[in-house]
């Protein structure tokens, strides 16, 4: 495992402590390459650029190695991975590295070098200044000459070593601090992207799990009702109708269980599944149940959650048909709404104007499956883009659900 979360901070395990070494290597190499190119371009403007190139490469190489040591120190001491701790460790580790870089730079600059070629500058007054190494001769126009031997550069640096190291340390420290700030920012950005990716994956998995859980609640409820009806048919001697129900039940389960509970199906496929279910219920209520389905062709291919209509139809049968001796009209209809949505209406109504004797309840006391199941599935699937409304109407009960519909459907 690369990392784990503890008390709100990501904690690096021993296997994953240096899992960002590629990012560190790229940033360190890029940082010091930029430094080297900058100082070399600046040096080209001066007459002694060639002499400075050598120790600039040494500075860059030393800085490269010390920056890698800072990275290792941060990863070892800032194990919790918090930005604050990383910043504190980096700030502390950069100080000795800056002191060491300053000392290396002064050491390279103070090395006595052999005398270079003679250089000469002539002023407007005709005075010639001739320098060769530490020897400087001033020759006037009348032939007078003054010769001065400057002390070695190493002696000058040695006299002011503490101050020079301090000044150099400040310069190098800010350079190293700039890399630390850049690296910590890149690390946090990378960590944020990983966290967002993991969160999106977790949310998707949770959504699928929720939809599956809600979907699988339907089967026990439906199976209980069907087996109860089969038992009644057998006990009453209506074996032919019991056989018809068993065949319809077999077809329904073979079809419905082949559907992925987290997937969508077309509205025509969903209606086809519900026709199988209603054929089972018609065996129970041949004289009381009348079904009307009105689905326009333009919405036949609209996508809906699999078996989203089944709990609604179950409630319509259980509380609208089985509780009355009158004929009940069960209507399933669909129409398009403005705003790219589709509305499905399921209505159970007595065929006359009398008030229905018992209206469907939103949930079933035994299993908790019902309209609440439908509303939860819609919320999990579409969020606030879908809604579910239900309630009594004159002579019956109606459930209306609205869901988004793609224009290509």
- pLDDT tens for residues 200-216? 776 766 666 665 555 55
Residue 14 confidence (pLDDT):
37
Residue 380 confidence (pLDDT):
78
Phi-psi label, residue 196: left if phi above 0, alpha if psi -120 to 50, beta otherwise: alpha
Strands ordered across the beta sheet of 341-350: 289-294, 328-337, 341-350, 396-404, 387-393
% of the chain beyond a pLDDT of 90:
18
- pLDDT tens for residues 282-331? 877 888 899 999 999 999 999 998 878 888 888 888 888 888 888 999 99
- Asked whether the beta carbons of 312 and 346 are under 8 A apart, the reply is yes
The secondary element (H helix, E strand) that includes residue 9 is strand 9-12
Categorize the per-residue pLDDT at 364 as very low, low, confident or very high, splitting at 50, 70 and 90. Answer: very low
Structure tokens that stand for 92 in this block = 């502390």
Question: Does 136 or 219 have the greater pLDDT score?
Answer: 136
% of the chain beyond a pLDDT of 70:
68
Residue 3 confidence (pLDDT):
37
Q: How far is Cα of residue 184 from the mean position of the Cα atoms in its chain?
A: 20
Can you tell me the distance from the alpha carbon of 119 to that of 117, in angstroms, rounded to the nearest whole number?
6
Q: Indicate the CATH number for domain 217-404.
A: 3.30.565.10
Instruction: Provide the H-helix boundaries in 217-286.
Output: 218-235, 239-256, 267-284
Residue 159 confidence (pLDDT):
63
Categorize the per-residue pLDDT at 354 as very low, low, confident or very high, splitting at 50, 70 and 90. Answer: very low
Can you tell me the distance from the alpha carbon of 319 to that of 322, in angstroms, rounded to the nearest whole number?
6
308: helix, coil or strand? coil
Instruction: Provide the H-helix boundaries in 111-217.
Output: 153-159, 161-216
Categorize the per-residue pLDDT at 368 as very low, low, confident or very high, splitting at 50, 70 and 90. Answer: very low
- pLDDT tens for residues 24-35? 898 899 888 888
Can you tell me the distance from the alpha carbon of 115 to that of 36, in angstroms, rounded to the nearest whole number?
26
1: helix, coil or strand? coil
Rg (CA), the chain: 42
- Asked whether the beta carbons of 361 and 370 are under 8 A apart, the reply is yes
User: Which segment, 67-76, 135-144, 303-312, 379-388, is predicted with the most confidence on average?
Assistant: 67-76
What integer best gives the mean pLDDT of the chain?
A: 76
Residue 7 confidence (pLDDT):
36
Residue 291 confidence (pLDDT):
94
Min mean pLDDT across 111-125, 136-150, 200-214 is at: 111-125
């Amino acid at each position: 495992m690369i990392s784990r979360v503890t008390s709100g901070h990501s904690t690096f395990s021993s296997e994953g402590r240096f899992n960002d070494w590629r990012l560190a290597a790229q940033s360190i190499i890029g940082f010091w390459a930029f430094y080297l190119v900058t100082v070399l371009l600046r040096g080209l403007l001066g007459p002694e650029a060639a002499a400075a190139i050598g120790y600039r490469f040494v500075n860059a190489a030393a800085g490269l190695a010390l920056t890698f040591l800072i990275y290792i120190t941060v990863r070892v001491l800032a194990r919790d991975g918090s930005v604050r701790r990383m910043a504190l460790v980096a700030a502390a580790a950069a100080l000795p590295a800056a002191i060491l870089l300053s000392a290396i730079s002064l050491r390279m600059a103070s090395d006595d070098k052999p005398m270079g070629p003679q250089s000469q500058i002539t002023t407007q007054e005709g005075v010639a200044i001739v320098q060769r190494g530490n020897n400087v001769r001033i020759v006037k126009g009348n032939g007078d000459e003054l010769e001065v031997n400057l002390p070695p550069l190493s002696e000058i640096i040695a006299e002011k070593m503490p101050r020079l190291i301090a000044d150099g340390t400040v310069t190098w420290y800010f350079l190293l601090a700039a890399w630390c700030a850049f690296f910590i920012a890149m690390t946090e950005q990378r960590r944020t992207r990983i966290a967002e990716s993991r969160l999106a994956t977790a949310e998707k998995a949770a959504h699928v799990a929720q939809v599956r859980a809600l979907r699988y609640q339907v089967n026990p409820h439906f199976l209980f009702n069907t087996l109860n009806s089969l038992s009644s048919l057998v006990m009453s001697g209506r074996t032919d109708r019991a056989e018809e129900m068993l065949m319809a039940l077999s077809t329904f389960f073979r079809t419905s269980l082949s559907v992925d509970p987290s997937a969508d199906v077309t509205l025509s496929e969903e209606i086809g599944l519900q026709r199988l279910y209603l054929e089972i219920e018609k065996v129970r209520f041949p004289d009381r149940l009348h079904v009307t389905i009105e689905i326009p062709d333009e919405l036949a291919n609209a996508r809906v959650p699999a078996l989203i209509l089944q709990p609604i139809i179950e409630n319509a049968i259980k509380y609208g048909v089985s509780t009355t001796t009158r004929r009940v009209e069960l209507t399933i209809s669909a129409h398009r709404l403005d705003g790219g949505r589709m509305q499905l209406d399921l209505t159970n109504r007595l065929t006359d104007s009398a008030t229905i004797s018992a209206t469907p309840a939103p949930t079933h006391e035994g299993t908790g499956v019902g309209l609440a199941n439908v509303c939860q599935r819609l919320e999990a699937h579409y969020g606030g883009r879908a809604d579910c409304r239900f309630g009594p109407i004159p002579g019956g009960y109606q459930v209306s659900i609205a869901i988004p519909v793609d224009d290509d459907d």
